[in-house]
Amino acid sequence: MRPRVVVVGAGFGGLTLVRALRRAPVDVTLLDQYNYHLFTPLLYQVATALLDPSEIAHPIRAVLRRQRNVRVVMGRLLDVHLDDRRVDTTAGSLDYDHLVVAVGSVNNFFANRSVEEQSYPLKTLDDALALRNHVLETFERASVTSDDAQRKRLETIAVVGAGPTGVECSGAFAELSALVLRRDFRGSPLTEVDITLLEAAPAVLGTFAPSLQRAARRTLQRKRVVVRLQTAVREMTPEGVVVLEDGSRIDAATVVWTAGVKASPIAGMLGVAPVDGGRVPVDAWMRVGGRPDVFAIGDVAAVQGDGGPHPMLAPVAIQQGEHVARQIVAAATGGAAPGPFRYFDKGTMATIGRNSGIAQIGPLRVSGFAGWLMWLFVHLVQIISFRSRLVVLVNWAWNYVFFDRPVRLITGMEKRTRPADD
C-alpha cells in the first residue's frame, strides 16, 4: 500500500505541498473546512467592492481536478491520535503515514473583547463580505440622515494596524470614497469619508525599508488618509466609538481590525507547548515533537533555530510546503532527504491604490508607479486559475479606466434560518 499523506488546510502551504506531490507514489487526502482556496492578498479588494468572491476563491476540487493521487474532504479537524497515526474530522476518521498540519492563522484581538465584538476583521472571505456590506450600508444611511453628528459618524472609517493589509485597505477605501461614492451620491448631503489609519508602532509598514515607509505615508496623505502612529486602541463602545490609549475618541461607524493574527490553536492537539503566542514549534525539517511523520508548515509553525521563526507570510508557507513534499517523496522513493529548511526571501510588496505601490526585493527599493506595476504583475501571475486571472484583469482594467468599483452590492440582508439537514 502506498503511504497515506493527510494534509490539513488548503491555504498556500497545504495546497503547494499537495501539488508538489502530484507525481509521488503516495495517496493524499486534503482536508479543509472550506471548499475553496483563498487568495488572501486580495481579500481587501473584495471588502472594497472591486472584486467578486469567486475571483479570489478557487474551489479546491477544481484546482486539483487533474491530480489523480489526491482526495479532497471538506471538514474540520477534531483530534489527532499521534500514536495511532489517525485524525478525527467532522467528515470521519483518516489514517495517515505522514500528517501535515497547515491550518494557518486566525484574527488576534489580543484578548480585547470589545474590539473582537465590534470591529470588522479581514481574514476570511466572510469577513470581507461582511465589511463590504457594512460599509456600503453606512454610506446609504449617511445619505438620508438629517442628524449631522450621526452622518459624520457613518462617514468615518478607522483602520487599525498599518501593516500591508491595513495600508492597502485604507488606500482602497479612500479610492472607493473619492472616486466612486462622490459620484454615486451626487446631490446628497454625504460629503467626504474620513479615513484614519491607527498604528501602535512608530511607523507604517514596519517590515519595509524607511524610504518605502515614507513613500507609503506620502501616498496615504495624498489620498487624505489620516495616519496616526504610536496610537493604540484601548477599547470600543457598543455605540461604535473607538477609545484610544491616550483617552481620546474616534466616532467611527466602521472599524476595520488588521492589527494582528495568531496561529490557529492546534499545538495542544499535537502534544506540544505553543511558542510565539500559539505557534507549533518545529525543527528545521518542520517536524513536530521530534516525530518523523508529523509536520507543521506555514503561519501555524515556528521553526526553532536555523534562522527561524519565519514571518507569517505566504512565501514562507509555500517554500515549507515544497520542502516537506521533497521529504515525503524521498521517504516514499528511498531518495535523498533534503537538508534543513532555509527561507529564501524573494521580497515583499504592497499597494496603496491606483498607480502607487512599493516593493522591496533584496537591495532593490521601488515605489510609485513602477512599484504598482510590479505589484500588479506579481499578483496576477500568482492567482491560480486562468479564468480568474482573466476576470480579475477585466475588473482591474475597468476600474482603472473608468474609476469604477463594479461590485457595490449589499447582499445577505435577509437570512432565512433553515433546519439542520441531518
Which grid coordinates are listed for 128? 470581507
421 scored as a contact of a second copy (CB under 8 A): yes
53-61, 298-306, 350-358, 376-384 -> range binding a second copy (CB under 8 A): 53-61
Which of 3, 4, 54, 340 is in the footprint of a second copy by CB under 8 A?
54
Q: Which helix (H) or strand (E) holds 20?
A: helix 12-20
410 scored as a contact of a second copy (CB under 8 A): yes
Residue 167 contacts by C-beta under 8 Å, 6 or more apart in sequence?
A: 197, 204, 205, 216, 220, 350, 352
Residue number, 53 or 340, with CB nearest to a second copy: 53
Q: Among residue numbers 84 through 113, which ones bind a second copy (CB under 8 A)? A: 91-92
Residue 228 contacts by C-beta under 8 Å, 6 or more apart in sequence?
A: 196, 197, 198, 199
Which of 134, 228, 291, 365 is in the footprint of a second copy by CB under 8 A?
134
HSE on the CB side for 197, CA within 13 Å?
32
283 scored as a contact of a second copy (CB under 8 A): no
Question: Residue 227's Cα: distance from chain center in Å?
Answer: 22
Residue number, 334 or 419, with CB nearest to a second copy: 419
Question: Residue 366's Cα: distance from chain center in Å?
Answer: 23
- Give φ, ψ of 396 to 5 degrees: -65, -40
180-188, 190-198, 329-337, 344-352 -> range binding a second copy (CB under 8 A): 180-188
6 scored as a contact of a second copy (CB under 8 A): no
| 140 part of the active site | no
Residues 102 and 62 sit within 8 Å (Cβ to Cβ): no
5-13, 72-80, 195-203, 221-229 -> range binding a second copy (CB under 8 A): 72-80
Q: Give least dist CB 255 to a second copy, A.
A: 11
Question: Which runs of consecutive H residues, i.e. helices, occur in 303-385?
Answer: 314-333, 368-382
Please give the DSSP secondary-structure letter assigned to residue 310: P
Q: Give least dist CB 275 to a second copy, A.
A: 27
Identify which of 282, 332, 395 has the alpha carbon closest to the alpha carbon of residue 20: 332
Q: Among residue numbers 368 through 407, which ones bind a second copy (CB under 8 A)? A: 387-388, 390-391, 394-395, 398, 404, 406-407
Identify which of 149, 147, 150, 166 has the alpha carbon closest to the alpha carbon of residue 158: 166
# chain residues binding a second copy, by CB under 8 A: 69
416 scored as a contact of a second copy (CB under 8 A): yes
Q: Which helix (H) or strand (E) holds 243?
A: strand 241-244
CA torsion 7-11-13-18 (nearest 10°) is: 50
118 scored as a contact of a second copy (CB under 8 A): yes
Q: List residues binding a second copy (CB under 8 A).
A: 33-36, 52-55, 57, 59, 61-62, 65, 71, 73-75, 91-92, 117-118, 124-126, 129-130, 134, 136-138, 140-141, 143-144, 146, 150, 154, 183-188, 238, 240, 253, 387-388, 390-391, 394-395, 398, 404, 406-416, 418-419, 421-422
Q: Which residues are catalytic?
A: 168
